[in-house]
Amino acid sequence: MRLNKEYMGTVELSPEKPVIAGEFSTWTITFTAGEYGIDDGGSLVIAWKSVSDWDTPQFDEKVEPGFTTVTTTGDCLVKARYNKFVRSFGNSILIDVYRGFIKKGDKITVTLGDTSQGSLGMRAQSFCEREHEFRVFLDPCGTNRYEEMPQRLKVQIVPSYHHEMQAIVPATVKIGEPFEVAVRALDEFGNPTDKYIGDVELAVRGVKAHGLPASVHFDGSSSNALKIPGCIIDEAGFWNLQIKDCEHGYLAYSNASKAEAEPEKFLYWGDMHGQTRQTVGTGMLEDYYSFSRDKACIQFTGWQGNDFEVSDETWADIRNFTEKFNEEGKFLVYLGYEWSGTTPQGGDHNVYFLHDNADFYPSSNWTATSVDNKNNANPITELYSKLENRNDVLLIPHIGGRYANLDYFNYTYSSVIEIHSHHGTFEWFAFDAMKRHIPVGFIAASDDHTCRVGLSYPLSGHGKSASGAFDVASGFTGVYAENLTKEAVWKALKARHCYASTFDRVYINTALGNLQMGDAGKADDEELLHLEAAGTYPIEKYEVYDWDKKIFEKDCLQRDKKKIRIRWSGVVYRGRGKSQKWDGVIYIGNGKLINAEKYAFDRIDQGILVKSDKYLKFTSSTSGDYDGFVMEIEGDDNTEIRFSSVAGSASVKYADVLKQGFTKAMGGLNLKLEIEPAFEQIIKENYCEYNKLKADIVLPQSTSVTEGEYKHAYWVKVLQTNGNAAWSSPIFVK
């Protein structure tokens, strides 16, 4: 075929100006036919990335968002519908030509977000992208074989206006030594934005400090985090950086940091898991690495594209960018990819190399036909064979679309598993490993597909393939290492001197006698588990586990007898489609609903729809995380709380909730509803008085003998009042 403009035709996009993330607008795509035209029964496809939350185009509701129209100058009829297309351009509009044909020079005009009949237009995707592409494919003969048009239509997505401020500080600092802190402005979708001009007051809370300016000015010139050097901590202890902009009403706290006179190890934060447009994700490699360093402010990262989409050319690019951005002592980049075999073949495993590696070993080259088949490794046991006798490779089982199969767990290459990402919170994966008595640590990441590794917010759910796929904010891996070098961080990951935290970078550390977090061996003191933790928000409780059994829990805040908390959590099952919709109603019988506040909602498009004195109507979905409400109710012994949702229903007396709480399993893998007295509400100005925890936990003396090398595996979950949490890697005791 003659795949050129003369025979296929041309396509144009208007307007070509930058688009603000999440804003409603109108775009016109015009196809002008070439020599081939389009015959009766032929079609045209306009496709964009699977990972995108543009409004789904619809063709019937003229006043609703996303209304799209298609017209033609040809002597024929055209009909359009939203349709799935080929990965990674899985969103598309399919335009059929019938009752006639399109000849050379005829046009097909597609208006995305047609406002002529009352629609607001089409809402752009919620995340930024330097070159968002619409690709157009032609089937002039009606054969269902599509060839891409010569031109690719591109539009730039830029951040919206400021919505919140955030601060980031090093997790460990040495007393008396200067360091830098970072402050950033974000829009409502979590994109760092340059559309903020203002003055931000800075103050260290928790310890004495000097060297930090009283305030800094944002001039709107950059969307990077503003890095401020010269801060010096004068005494030991936990501290947070408070930032305040009185004019815009912003008050926020950084992650917690611990100041020590002579730290034996430093806590570093990283997110080693994400993809770009080279595979199913979006964004350029240059933007991916610079974002994680300059905007997300993490200290180590990696790239983990699905292996069946990684060509030899892509692998060469990844190797080059890994070398370009890696800077020992400042910002570490690990070379790697995602081994993406099906679950019965082993399931998803992130593969990391300590050093450069000329080859990679994919599960298949299903879509990357340029890969040398001799390197294919499937099932995962073949990968183990190809890596035999190597100590410079790390495999991390994780949960994505596919989930890692622990039947294939290999102690030689895997020391940790990923239990939280942009896909959801997967405590069940930690419990699966603990039930099997696998001596493994826990980490978290983002599995970001939006070029925001280290700072991934949920997608809004407007796009058909986006909704439910990336339901929660990203997580982080905290690593205790001697210094910020690839060798030191690698050694810490292999030794399980690391842990998983959700979005707030919660500080946590544990010890049992001479054993530190992740260690395995004999403890010289098996009675007291030492726990230290500190967060961005007040810590409400912690739980202690021995393997998969909860052995201790304690509230860190008082309960508020005037308020209750209703929350739900969990996933439907392990594989794809794991997210659970919870849309429903909470009804107060024989009582009055005074007030309700959202608890732990990640997505801005979810929450309260209607609230009255009697009921609250809401929309929600969970992917293992929490959603819920803190509610103030006026009632007596006859007051009843009724919960009704698409996931299930329950009814309980208000008086019983205040006395003993209420829990109900709601099916699925671990779906659960909890109704209990709420924890006391701490005003924001006092957060730093309640966000620290230090405890020596007396462990029960167990006489049971367990199978395997280790008798005990002690690990801790710490939970903040906003629903964010951290999970320590276990200490394994012989």
pLDDT the model gives residue 469: 67
Residues sharing a CB contact under 8 Å with residue 604, sequence separation 6 or more, in sequence order: 188, 189, 460
pLDDT the model gives residue 465: 47
pLDDT above 90 coverage of the chain, percent: 92
Instruction: Give the pLDDT confidence of 257-289 residue by residue, as tens digits.
Output: 999 999 999 999 999 999 999 999 999 999 999
pLDDT the model gives residue 464: 45
Q: Are 166 and 252 in contact (CB under 8 A)?
A: yes
pLDDT the model gives residue 599: 98
Mean pLDDT of 605-628: 96
CA distances from 313 to 285, 336, 570 (A): 13, 14, 40
pLDDT the model gives residue 480: 98
Q: Are 455 and 127 in contact (CB under 8 A)?
A: no
Strands of the sheet containing 507-512, edge to edge, are 515-516, 507-512, 528-534, 692-698
Question: Tokens representing 514?
Answer: 């001479």
pLDDT the model gives residue 369: 67
Q: 572 pLDDT exceeds 60?
A: yes
pLDDT the model gives residue 462: 56
DSSP bridge partners of 112: 27, 68
pLDDT above 70 coverage of the chain, percent: 98
DSSP bridge partners of 595: 632
CA dihedral 209, 211, 213, 214 (to 10 degrees): 30
One-character DSSP codes across 125-188:
PSS-EEEEEEEEEEETTSSS--EEEEEEEEEEEE-----EEEEE--SEEETT--EEEEEEEE-T
Instruction: Give the pLDDT confidence of 320-335 residue by residue, as tens digits.
Output: 999 999 999 999 999 9
Cα(355)–Cα(152) distance, integer angstroms: 36
Q: Are 618 and 583 in contact (CB under 8 A)?
A: yes
CA distances from 276 to 127, 178, 306, 363 (A): 13, 35, 10, 19
Domains in the chain with CATH codes = 5-158 (2.60.40.1510), 164-263 (2.60.40.10), 268-503 (3.20.20.140), 506-557+693-734 (2.60.40.10), 560-681 (no CATH)
pLDDT the model gives residue 419: 98
pLDDT the model gives residue 705: 52
CA distances from 52 to 192, 282, 461, 571, 674 (A): 18, 9, 9, 22, 33
Instruction: Give the pLDDT confidence of 340-352 residue by residue, as tens digits.
Output: 999 999 999 999 9
Average pLDDT over the chain, rounded to an integer: 95
pLDDT the model gives residue 4: 86
pLDDT the model gives residue 703: 52
Return the number of other C-beta atoms located less than 10 Å from residue 567's C-beta: 20
Instruction: Give the pLDDT confidence of 407-461 residue by residue, as tens digits.
Output: 999 999 999 999 999 999 999 999 999 999 999 999 999 999 999 999 999 997 7
Angle, helices 312-325/285-294, rounded to nearest 10 degrees: 30
Question: Tokens representing 33?
Answer: 């036919």
Instruction: Give the pLDDT confidence of 119-160 residue by residue, as tens digits.
Output: 999 999 999 999 999 999 999 999 999 999 999 999 999 999
> For 312, phi and psi rounded to 5 degrees?
-60, -35
Q: 372 pLDDT exceeds 80?
A: no
> For 302, phi and psi rounded to 5 degrees?
-160, 175
Instruction: Give the pLDDT confidence of 575-593 residue by residue, as tens digits.
Output: 888 999 999 999 999 999 9
CA distances from 116 to 56, 64, 476 (A): 18, 12, 46
Candidate from 349-353, 397-401, 582-586, 645-649 with smallest mean pLDDT: 397-401
Q: 466 pLDDT exceeds 50?
A: no
Q: 220 pLDDT exceeds 50?
A: yes
Q: 44 pLDDT exceeds 80?
A: yes
Cα(31)–Cα(54) distance, integer angstroms: 21
